[in-house]
């Protein structure tokens, strides 16, 4: 039987007998249909499943991917493929199968799912990549193969130059890349990418690291993971592990600083020893040079000497193209990246690590609306690879799966360096407001604690998840609030730039000097609410001796900025670092002994069933930044609802306690993870029309999906953020325990209603963003 899931798959024509080969091609745009093309005889051995091709479509030529090779087609008069792209197949059969699963599960066209699998630069044979291909002569051993006169001409050009860029050769010899490739097939020349590849982190010196001696918890966790890796067949598991035992999924629950990364590193080491590659997923926001270095430092040097390739959205198209090819060619065996790295062409694959698996950014908010953690689990299952999900605060979904035996739970209950967990003090801001007139920025206790740290020359991190200066501009006289013309939110005042900005759509306008209402014109217009910019200001006023740095997406316009601020903080040039959630993740500074969470309940009262979970996670993660050195850390949590369970359980570092009370609430209301949810959103510019359509859709869906015995239809209701980017939005939330059945029924249900052209409908399976 064909070994599926391997790149080695290639179709050879049987002997001299000419049988037509037909390529089934998925085009790059969504037509929900695949098309058959004839493979010209001379390309029979180059056209394989996963190969990118150019094909005629109507009067145009379009790009697509070969998804199957067949010998008969239900259609007649097939046209031939016009061009075969790249040097090799871009996708394995297994990854194509993964895209098929995504299309079904997330209810999107197969083409859309397939598109997300390849980086744009790889998909469209990005202009420029050819130029960087070099052609050089190869020494010939044995008899020189027969050549046409044309081929001999071309070969003589290459011989004259010894080595030259392919583009140059094409120009000099007036030939095509296909012709040169035929010389390559005969073993006369070699085409390869330039040696001087772009390396996004290339200029840095990275000091090698050795494997650390593990503590008992780490040892136990690694043992189980390594055992599982030991059972992955050499050469990879192949599709669905070829009937073998599916590789397990582990949930590594380790408190902040427990040394999860060291477990990942050593597990990867075990996979490499067995000739298997690994993928490491990291949330976009945590994919910092510091994170990448930890992996490079271990593997660029170590006994296994392998390259680590990085895939993320801050790379240029060219860099992404090169990094991807490093993996595809097998020069890099470890791929580290954000969400889409789950599709990295690592072959054979032994291990997928999803770090901070609870992070919402693993969910893609446009079609295909996939969750990279869930895709990782599915890919692991299909390819027989071990999956390790790691977090200090696992998602309710993953812990639920672990409790039910779907995942294997591994726990690291103590910090690796034996540092104690920080002491968390919750400050009741209601009493603070009564003492001062109006809510203060810092409580008395936090103020004292900061002073103490400044005296001891220790560092402080202050966390506020709201950027800008003030969160709204209000007129105390007439009640005017500056709102976004496109969205139903107040504009945020950014003092540095003297502008009002919308954090939803990006709209900006000049900040008025007086109330803009014609009848009012009050010059005493007021800035209400606290943002990081104002916090920085308040700090400078209260602690004139301190050096203050700020980190949020306003201060980090360029990619070096991030690094610059962090380096300044690390070397002690900054005493107090203020930031948004950007500073909450994965950073490690031994001299930080105090962390302040300025407004802990900011996200607690959002109309989202995960508000408590998010707050718990955020507080725990932020608190984890404190006391990672020799000095015990202290955390101040300022809150107006200090007795909320999310805050109290975070204070006690009690994940399981939090989980147990939270799961009860989810069970009662049948919210995920107890049931699965899908969110229908209708949007349009006319609110009345959107609402009316939402009502019709809600009714049809309730009927169309009535076969699902346990279906709950909530809504239609206006989205919490009713208007965004000029569109009004209404939602219907569907909940059921059998999502696979819902998505299977969806297409026929969708056919039951027609929407006006100016109303758009999206279906988000397992939604993360409910706003
Ligand atoms: P986590 O990812 O679980 O938050 P880290 O992997 O960042 O934790 O580890 C925290 C710190 O502990 C790091 O500085 C790391 O080098 C160190 N560390 C990890 N494992 C060990 C070990 N076995 N012995 C000593 N130090 C360790
Ligand atoms: Zn807006």
Element housing 537 (H / E) = helix 532-542
Cα distance between residue 317 and residue 604, in whole Å:
39
Exposure string of 139-158, with b = 16+ CB inside 10 Å and e = fewer, is: eeeeeeeeeeeebeebbebb
Tens-digit pLDDT profile for residues 414-428: 888 777 788 899 999
Tens-digit pLDDT profile for residues 28-59: 887 888 999 999 988 888 899 999 999 999 88
Higher pLDDT, 574 or 142: 574
Beta bridge partners of 592: 459
Tens-digit pLDDT profile for residues 368-396: 999 999 999 999 999 999 999 999 999 99
Cα distance between residue 370 and residue 366, in whole Å:
8
Cβ 214 under 6 angstroms from ligand 1: yes
Phi/psi of residue 449, nearest 5 degrees = -65, -40
Tens-digit pLDDT profile for residues 89-136: 899 999 999 999 999 999 999 999 999 998 877 887 644 444 467 788
* DSSP sequence for 184-196: HHTTSEEEEE-SS
Higher pLDDT, 419 or 556: 419
Nearest to 39 by CA among 24, 19, 63, 21: 21
Distance of CA 630 from the midpoint of ligand 1 (Å):
14
Nearest to 768 by CA among 400, 395, 406, 487: 395
For ligand 2, a single-atom ion, the residues with CB < 5 A are 484, 486-487, 502, 504-505, 507
Confidence category of residue 204, pLDDT binned at 50, 70, 90: low
DSSP β-ladder status, 60-70 and 163-165: unpaired
Burial class (CB in 10 A: 0-12, 13-18, 19+), 59: exposed
Q: Which ligand 1 atom lies nearest to the CA of residue 586?
A: 4
From 221, 222, 261, mutation site for ligand 1 pocket: most ligand atoms within 8 A of C-beta: 261
Cβ 262 under 6 angstroms from ligand 1: yes
Segment among 169-183, 362-376, 681-695, 746-760 with least mean pLDDT? 169-183
Segment among 124-133, 216-225, 319-328, 557-566 with least mean pLDDT? 124-133
pLDDT at 654: 93
Mean local confidence (pLDDT), 665-681: 94
Cβ 257 under 6 angstroms from ligand 1: yes
Tens-digit pLDDT profile for residues 689-741: 999 999 999 999 988 888 888 899 998 999 988 988 889 999 999 999 989 88
Distance of CA 326 from the midpoint of ligand 1 (Å):
29
Burial class (CB in 10 A: 0-12, 13-18, 19+), 316: exposed
Tens-digit pLDDT profile for residues 312-368: 777 767 778 888 888 998 889 999 999 999 999 999 999 999 999 999 999 999 999
Cβ 254 under 6 angstroms from ligand 1: yes
Q: Is the per-residue pLDDT at 152 higher than 80? A: yes
Query: Residue whose CA is closest, atom 25 of ligand 1?
Result: 417
Query: Residue whose CA is closest, atom 19 of ligand 1?
Result: 259
H helical segments located in 404-483:
429-435, 444-456
Q: Are 38 and 78 in contact (CB under 8 A)?
A: yes
* DSSP sequence for 374-405: HHHHHHHHHHT-EEEEEESS--HHHHHHHHTT
From 262, 269, 585, mutation site for ligand 1 pocket: most ligand atoms within 8 A of C-beta: 262
Cα distance between residue 628 and residue 34, in whole Å:
55
Mean local confidence (pLDDT), 521-536: 84
């Amino acid at each position: 039987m064909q070994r599926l899931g391997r790149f080695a798959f290639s179709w050879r024509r049987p002997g001299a007998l000419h049988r037509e080969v037909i390529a089934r091609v998925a085009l790059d745009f969504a037509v929900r249909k695949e098309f058959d093309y004839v493979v010209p005889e001379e390309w029979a051995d180059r056209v394989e499943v996963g190969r990118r091709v150019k094909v005629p479509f109507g009067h145009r030529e379009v790009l697509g991917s070969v998804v199957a090779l067949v010998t008969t087609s239900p259609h007649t008069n097939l046209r031939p493929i016009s061009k075969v792209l790249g040097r090799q197949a871009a996708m394995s059969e297994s990854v194509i199968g993964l895209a098929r699963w995504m299309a079904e599960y997330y209810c999107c066209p197969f083409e859309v799912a397939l598109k997300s699998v390849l980086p744009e630069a790889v998909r469209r044979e990005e202009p420029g990549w050819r130029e960087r291909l070099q052609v050089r002569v190869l020494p010939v051993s044995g008899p020189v193969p027969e050549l046409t006169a044309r081929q001999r001409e071309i070969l003589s050009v290459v011989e004259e130059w010894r080595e030259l860029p392919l583009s140059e050769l094409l120009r000099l010899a007036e030939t095509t890349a296909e012709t040169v490739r035929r010389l390559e097939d005969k073993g006369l020349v070699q085409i390869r990418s330039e040696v001087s590849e772009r390396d996004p982190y290339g200029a840095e010196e990275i000091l090698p690291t050795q494997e650390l001696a593990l503590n008992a918890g780490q040892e136990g966790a690694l043992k189980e993971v390594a055992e599982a890796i030991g059972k992955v067949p050499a050469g990879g598991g192949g599709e669905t592990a070829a009937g073998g035992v599916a590789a397990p999924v582990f949930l590594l629950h380790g408190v902040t600083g427990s040394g999860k990364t060291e477990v990942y590193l050593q597990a990867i080491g075990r996979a490499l020893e067995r000739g298997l590659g690994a993928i490491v997923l990291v949330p976009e926001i945590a994919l910092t040079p510091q994170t990448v270095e930890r992996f490079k430092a271990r593997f660029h040097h170590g006994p296994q000497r392998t390259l680590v390739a990085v895939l993320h959205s801050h790379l240029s198209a060219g860099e992404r193209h090169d990094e991807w090819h490093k993996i595809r060619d097998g020069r890099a065996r470890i791929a580290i990246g954000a969400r889409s790295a789950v599709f990295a062409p690592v072959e054979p694959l032994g291990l997928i690590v999803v770090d901070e698996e609870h992070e919402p950014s693993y969910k893609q908010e446009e079609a295909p609306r996939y969750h990279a953690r869930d895709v990782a689990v599915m890919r692991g299952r299909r390819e027989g690879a071990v999956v390790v999900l790691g977090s200090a605060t696992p998602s309710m979904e993953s812990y639920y799966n672990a409790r039910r035996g779907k995942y294997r739970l591994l726990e690291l209950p103590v910090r690796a360096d034996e540092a104690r967990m920080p002491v968390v003090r919750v400050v009741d801001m209601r009493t603070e407001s009564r003492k001062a007139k109006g809510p203060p920025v810092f409580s008395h206790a936090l103020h004292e604690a900061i002073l103490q740290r400044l005296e001891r020359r220790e560092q402080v991190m202050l966390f506020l998840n709201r950027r800008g200066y003030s969160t709204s501009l209000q007129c105390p006289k007439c009640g005017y609030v500056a709102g976004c013309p496109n969205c139903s939110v107040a504009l945020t005042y950014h003092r540095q730039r003297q502008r009002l900005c919308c954090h939803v759509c990006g709209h900006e306008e000049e900040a008025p000097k007086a109330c803009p209402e014609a009848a009012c014109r009050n010059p005493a217009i007021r800035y209400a609410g606290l943002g990081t910019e104002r916090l920085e200001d308040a700090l400078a006023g209260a602690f004139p001796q301190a050096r203050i740095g700020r980190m949020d997406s306003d201060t980090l316009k360029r990619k070096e900025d991030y690094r610059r601020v962090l380096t300044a903080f690390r070397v002690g040039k900054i005493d107090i670092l203020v930031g948004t959630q950007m500073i909450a993740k994965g950073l490690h500074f031994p001299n930080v002994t105090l962390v302040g969470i300025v407004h802990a309940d900011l996200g607690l009262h959002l109309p989202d069933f995960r508000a408590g979970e998010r707050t718990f996670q955020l507080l725990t993660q932020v608190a984890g930044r404190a006391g990672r050195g020799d000095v015990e850390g202290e955390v101040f949590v300022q809150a107006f609802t200090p007795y909320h369970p999310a805050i109290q359980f975070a204070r006690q570092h009690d994940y399981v306690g939090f989980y147990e009370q939270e799961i009860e609430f989810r069970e009662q209301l049948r919210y995920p993870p107890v049931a699965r949810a899908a969110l229908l959103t209708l949007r349009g510019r006319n609110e009345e029309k959107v609402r009316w359509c939402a009502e019709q859709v809600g009714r049809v869906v309730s009927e169309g999906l009535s076969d699902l015995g346990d279906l709950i239809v909530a809504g239609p209701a206006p989205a919490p953020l009713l208007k965004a980017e000029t569109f009004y939005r209404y939602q219907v939330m569907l909940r059921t325990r059998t999502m696979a059945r819902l998505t299977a029924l969806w297409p026929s249900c969708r056919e039951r209603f027609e929407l006006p052209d100016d109303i758009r409908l999206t279906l988000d399976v397992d939604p993360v963003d409910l706003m």
